[in-house]
Structure 1
Amino acid sequence: MDDERRYSFETGERNTFGVVDYVLFALLLCVSASIGLFYAIKDRKNQNTKDFLLAGGNMSATPVALSLLASFMSAITLLGTPAEMYNYTTSYFWIGLGYFFTIGLAAHIYIPVFYNLGVTSVYQYLEMRFGRPTRSLISVVYVIQMVLYMSIVLYAPSLAMNAVTGFTLWGSVWAVGLVCIFYTTIGGMKAVLWTDTFQVGVMLAGLCTILIQGSIEVGGFSKAWQYSVDSGRILFDDFNPDPIVRHSVWSCVFGGAITWLAVYGANQAQIQRAITCPTLRKAQMAYWFNFPGLCVILYLCCFIGTVAYAFYRTCDPKTFGLITASDQLLPLFVMDVLGKMPGVPGIFVSCIFSGALSTLSSGLNSIAAVLLEDVVKVFCVSDLNEQRATNASKLIALVSGFICLGLTYVASMLGGVLQAALALFGMLGGPILGVFTLGIIFPWANQKGALTAVSSGVIFMLWIGVGYQVHKPPVAPFSPTSLVGCNWNLTDTNFTQPLASVLTNATVAPAPEYSTWDPFVRLYSLSYLWYSATAMLYTVCVGLIVSFATGRTDPKSLDPKLMCPLFDTLMPFLPEKILKPLRFGVDYSKMREQDEAATRDEMEIFVDKNNPDLTDVNGRPS
């Protein structure tokens, strides 16, 4: 075979970056920083929090949808999903159906409540519904959750950079972190939205390039798919209902839907983007436009993992010692199939870092909003003027960014980035979703119930997470791999295990032992995709029990804008005589009257702006 076409498992060496690759990567950072600088100069006269945190509240649905897509479909997905397909089976494909339920529930149950209240921080809702202590507690939990998550997101692409180029791991962490802190701090939400839009384009270009060239290398995608069929990786009919099964139809569709609902329905970073739209309808459109994008990125990553298995089917790079973690599989694959094409590896690493930048910038902006609205204005200075409030937001974003940089070391010890990130969202995001669900859907819930439920829910989920790390329950079996095609002349420096032992371990996937029915062992073995659903169910149940025990809230006393008419939303075709008792005494007619009044006001403003000749001297329609 020609030296130009020799791969890592044949040579024992990984390809490295060239000058063109470094230039393209630097260009990504420069463009991202330039967008922030552009909006900092353009909006220098609009120094107010609405512009900095909500982009003036007048963004179109398209950039908002792309920003929603970029914010959490990040380097976590780009690195973790191909490794998932390589190591396990195609059961994870089902999570795409879960996205559909996530978007539908978030767009039509949660978003309308927050949008109609006109809040900047979604945790303002909790004070209106359950009092200030609940708001303060959840704000603290959210900030902790996002800082830890952003640390994982920043570490993951830096790990990829280190694996494929030898570039210092911590040097890349600081380079990317500083650029992101710069454009987020000076440019605000507009910079975040438009850099996200640019970065989604880079992500899609990188993924398509990898999939196309990888398919060519293995003789076509259909051949790659057949290799996965032959190895038993193609599995779509695992309907095992046991919640400790890592991935099944049930855990991916329903567990995955609730996991992502905690992101799209109760996470400040996502909801803050929806609020930047001028109308509720456009906010909902942005969510639905986001759905096909989620599926495209998910399945591109899944297909790349399938092609990667076909490429390494005769030499598992992790077992052979070419990489040390599954998260390095995709970078190795890219450098094998694209390493001889100047500039193309640079596009890939730009793709990975685009996902990290978008998530980090979104998180920093949302933390600035939460700490300003829920901490500074509540506990420090309640009457900040716009200039000081905007400066405080920028300072918060700056400090939060450096804290994330410091915590990246912790992220380096968490193992697989995909599972670590989603487990984190389940442990902390699940109780947050639960308390919002308790408030929005169940009118009887009171402050004591909410506080008790969410505080004990966080403790309960952390107990499960820590129990998993301490007791290390049986892991799910890996799909079979092989080493028969490796260059064994390299084993003196790359590998030390006996060949017979390696081949045995590499080709036979051990079955997990789930025979014990010890309730604690089973609890610690719970699939990470059920974390959010478990936390939400626990929070709602405990919240209702405590609320009824301490004196439930009278539904008639509630402001209907704090609630969602669930059955009117999900089943509007039902007759009024059935829907009325399903509103549980909440008088939504008041909210309809308010909406009609607001619509009339909007129409008057529209007429005023577009037909000045039809208005009287007071500016009212004539």
Structure 2
Amino acid sequence: MPAPQGPPAVQDLTFSLWDYGVFALMLLISTGIGLFHGLAKGGQKTSEDFFTGGRRMSALPVGLSLSASFMSAIQVLGVPAEAFRYGAKFLWMCLAQLINSALTAQLFLPVFYRLGLTSTYEYLERRFSRSVRLCGTVQYVVATMLYTGIVIYAPSLILNQVTGLDIWASLLSTGVICTFYTTIGGMKAVIWTDVFQVFVMLSGFVAITIRGVLLVGGPAEVLSIAANGSRLNFADFSLDPRSRYTVWTFVMGGTLLWLSMYGVNQAQVQRYVACRSEREAKMALLVNQAGLFCIVASAVACGLIMFALYGHCDPLLAGAIAAPDQDPRGNVIGFWVVPGVFGVSLVVLPPHLVSPQYMPYLVLDIFKSSPGVPGLFLACAYSGTLSTASTSINAMAAVTVEDLVRPQLPALSPKRLTLISKGLSLTYGTSCITVAALSSLLGGGVLQGVLGGLAVGLALSLWVAIGATLYPPSAATMGVLPSSSTLCPPRNVTNATSGTALPTPPPEPLRPSILGEFYSVSYLYYGALGTLGTMGTGALLSLLPAGPAQESHRPQGVLWWDIIRATTSDIPKGDNSPGDEDKARVTQVLLEKPDGEGTAPCDPPRGGTVTESDV
């Protein structure tokens, strides 16, 4: 392996015209896919075509779309940096994703698929009341709009800090193009552009991996350096919840975090209910799992290569790149708003510990003599942004139409409802671009139980997330692994750090010891905290006496076991899709409220049971 070289200055690294050409080609192809699906066969004739592709999608494209939807540019840029700083144990996230896929396939998918829902929040009205449904819809739209705005803004800022890429040009180009093809093509356009963008993301990671391995001296050398630097740290079974990454934070906290995204999140549910059968939907989850594993494993491999190249000359310690907290605009990147299982989870990434500038710096450094290849990475990063943003825009439009517009205007024609759906997509896309622009200006009874639990879960997530932002945990507490700048040649950089070790955070503010420990909990447990707060408070408040109106509203038959029993008892099992369609039709009959007053929405009609002949 050649002697380590000092990191080049940031101003020496920039994109070429060839790189911008590759990036523009990715945007052009994405636009073309959206136009094709928006105009082919006369476009979308109903809102169901627009939001679910007519429920005729196959497993492969839906599965790849599922894996792309939450792999935003924040993950593309951030996961390699996390692996560089914390080691390869990030691969345990794949186990959390596997557990999540199994739970989603067995517990959540059958319910939503057999109910034939477009909006997940319609279930809340069937199970509880319309007020609970509206609460869920409003919090989802607000949280998703904030999250999507940051997803659009973050890569523009990071690449601007490293390469000088114009923030407004990248922000507007990606935001406008994403809004355009999502509005024109609907769900089919979103899914098929996601498929294309998954391959772009993987291509970018593969190119970086091959070039990096060759520079280091081969895969064995990469693993040897990683092992000597304590980066192959898979056997970390610490029970300390303050440690950022352990086997248990991934298995328990990570599973709940991903379950909030795949089990009940509108964007993901909307995809697997678009499959032409329940069996296809479950196959899509398997394809999704394979896609997620490839993306996460590739990102972790890039992080290990990064350590092999820079472990003894850390660009952050040497002053070649900056931590986000050294730029006031970067503070927003460490603050994610993610829809949780029963509310909103806020994920905080302490900006003084991990810099998302590592990845673009690595790419421009190792490919400085290969024009066009850094453009592939640029396309890779923004493919993550496009897939996440288009997914969110379509999902927000869907819940608005299904939960707010359709119940108030039931007589709207399919054509007019489709136009409203497209108009909402355009509106939400514009709103997300606005949030992204504003981010650049930022500085540093059963029913009462459900509503109260939602409020407490949200408040708890807000409390711990904001507390961790104001009082960030120390590097030692979080388990940050050391790197060094001892082998860097002298450079005239005022903010360079000589010697070893860890990025030095600012002095910790004084705080009570109990709160200090609470705020130091790993971010992977935030979803669990919010969920436990929601369910615990809801369970306690549901013990209070309920009024007559609430008593009469408590339905029977909308729980998981009711729906499974109702849709399997009267229809013979089969492997083909017509069997799944028959189940969906039987479920729809079960959900239609009969004329008898006081009968629950899922109860069979009085005087008999529902059979296949009734359908």
Once residues 465 and 515 of structure 1 are traced to their aligned partners in structure 2, the CA distance between those partners, rounded to angstroms, is 18
Instruction: Look up the match of 1:485.
Output: 487
User: In structure 2, what is the Cα distance between the partners aligned to 1:80 and 1:28?
Assistant: 22
Q: Is 1:254 the counterpart of 2:268 in the alignment?
A: no
Distance 1:230 1:542 in 2: 48
Q: Do the aligned residues in 1 keep the contact of 2:8 with 2:365 (CA within 8 Å)? A: no
**1:382 and 2:410 correspond:** yes
Structure-1 residue corresponding to 2:560: 564
1:334 aligns with 2:363: yes
The answer to whether the 8 Å contact 1:20/1:346 transfers is yes
Please say if residues 317 and 323 of structure 1, whose CA atoms lie closer than 8 Å, have aligned partners that are also in contact: yes
Return the offset for 1:452: 1.4
Stretches of structure 2 that go unaligned for 5 or more consecutive residues are 324-354, 583-612
- Per-residue Cα deviation, 1:556-611 (whole angstroms, up to 9, x for no partner): 97443x2223xxxxxxxxxxxxxxxxxxxx696444345559999936999xxxxx
CA contact (8 A) 2:278 2:577 kept: no
1:24-423 matched pairs, under 5 angstroms: 24-44=22-42, 46-325=44-323, 326-378=355-407, 380-409=408-437, 411=439
Match of 1:148, as an amino acid? L
The change in CA–CA distance for 1:382 and 1:8 in structure 2 (over 3 A counts) is farther
Please say if residues 99 and 257 of structure 1, whose CA atoms lie closer than 8 Å, have aligned partners that are also in contact.
Answer: yes
Q: CA 1:558/1:291 → structure 2, altered by over 3 Å: closer, same or farther?
A: same
Partner residue in 2 for 1:448: 448
For 2:560, give the aligned amino acid. Answer: C
Q: 1:477 touches 1:510 (CA, 8 Å); kept in 2?
A: no
**Residue aligned with 1:485, SS:** coil
Greater Cα shift, 390-399 or 133-142:
390-399
Render the CA deviation track for 1:178-212: whole Å, top value 9, x for unaligned: 11011001111110011001111111111101001
Which residue identity lines up with residue 40 of structure 1 in the other structure? G
SS at match of 1:9: coil
Structure 1 residues 544 and 512: alpha-carbon distance in aligned structure 2, compared to 1, 3 A threshold: farther
Matched position secondary structure for 2:138: helix
Q: What is the aligned partner in structure 1 of residue 331 from structure 2?
A: none
Map of 1:616 onto structure 2: none
Q: Which moved more, 1:121-130 or 1:476-485?
A: 476-485
- Corresponding residue for 1:528? 523
CA shift for structure 1 position 358: 0.7
Contact 1:477 1:509 in 2 (8 A): no
3-state secondary structure, aligned to 1:327: coil
**Residues 112 and 601 of structure 1: is their aligned pair in 2 closer, same or farther, counting only changes over 3 Å?**
closer
How far apart, CA to CA, are the structure 2 residues paired with 1:226 and 1:604?
51
Counterpart of 1:259 in 2: which secondary structure? helix
Give the conservation status (yes or no) of the 8 Å contact 1:238–1:249.
yes
Q: Structure 1 length normalisation: TM-score?
A: 0.81
259-268 vs 143-152, which deviates more?
A: 143-152
Is contact 2:317–2:503 with CA below 8 Å preserved after alignment? no
How far apart in 2 are the matches of 1:504 and 1:107?
50
Contact 1:148 1:411 in 2 (8 A): no
What's the CA shift for 1:351?
0.9
Instruction: Flag the 1:558–1:517 CA change in 2: closer, same or farther, 3 A.
Output: same
Letter in 2 for 1:527: S
CA contact (8 A) 2:111 2:563 kept: no
1:163-188 Cα shifts (integer Å, max 9, x gaps): 45422112211111111011001111
User: Aligned equivalents of 2:10 and 2:162: distance in 1?
Assistant: 13
| 1:10–1:527 Cα change, 3 Å | closer
Which of 549, 554, 559 lines up with 2:544 in the alignment? Answer: 549
The offset of 1:381, in angstroms, is 2.4
* Equivalences, count: 548
| Residue 451 of structure 1, CA deviation | 1.3
Aligned partners of 2:43 and 2:185 also within 8 Å: no
* Structure-2 separation of matches of 1:404 and 1:605: 36
2:469 & 2:506 partners in 1: Cα distance? 20
Verify: 1:592 aligned to 2:590, yes or no. Answer: no
Q: 1:495 is matched with which residue?
A: 494
Q: Deviations over 1:343-396 (max 9, x none)?
A: 111111111111111111111000010111112223x42322111211111111
| Cα distance change on mapping 1:242 and 1:515 into 2, 3 Å | farther
Q: Distance in 2 between matches of 1:511 and 1:594?
A: 65
1:152, 1:412 within 8 Å by CA — same for their partners in 2? no
Go from structure 1 to structure 2 and tell me whether the alpha carbon gap of 1:601 and 1:288 turns closer, same or farther (over 3 Å shift).
Answer: closer
Partner-residue secondary structure (3-state), 2:79? helix
Q: What amino acid maps onto 2:419 in structure 1?
A: N
Query: Structure 1 residues 227, 403: CA separation in 2 closer, same or farther (over 3 Å shift)?
Result: same
Listed one character per residue, the Cα deviations across residues 273-313 of structure 1 (whole Å, up to 9, x for unaligned) are 00110111111110112112111110110010000011112
Which whole-Å CA distance do the structure 2 matches of 1:313 and 1:332 have between them?
14
Whether the 8 Å contact between 1:62 and 1:289 is mirrored in structure 2 is yes
| 2:17 paired residue number | 19
Deviations 1:49-83 (A, max 9, x none): 01111111100000000000110122122111100
Unaligned 5+ segments in structure 1 are: 417-444, 566-585, 607-619
CA distance in 1, matches of 2:19, 2:309: 23
- The separation in 2 between residues aligned to 1:558 and 1:357, in whole angstroms, is 41
What are the Cα deviations for residues 472-526 of structure 1, in whole angstroms up to 9, with x where unaligned?
34342532222233231x31xx3256xxxx3345469899999998433322222
Q: CA separation in 1, counterparts of 2:308 and 2:213?
A: 9
Q: 1:603 to 1:153 in 2, by over 3 A?
A: closer
Q: Relative to 1, partners in 2 of residues 1:252 and 1:600: Cα closer, same or farther, differing over 3 Å? A: closer
Q: Deviations 1:20-73 (Å, cap 9, x if unpaired)?
A: 211111110000011111111114354210111111110000000000011012
Relative distance call for 1:590 and 1:41 in structure 2 (3 A) is closer
Cα distance 1:316–1:410, how it changes in 2: closer, same or farther (>3 A)? farther
- Aligned 8 A contact 1:221 1:307 in 2: no
| C-alpha contact (below 8 Å) 2:253/2:527 kept by paired residues | yes
Q: Percent identity?
A: 38
Secondary structure of 1:537's match?
helix
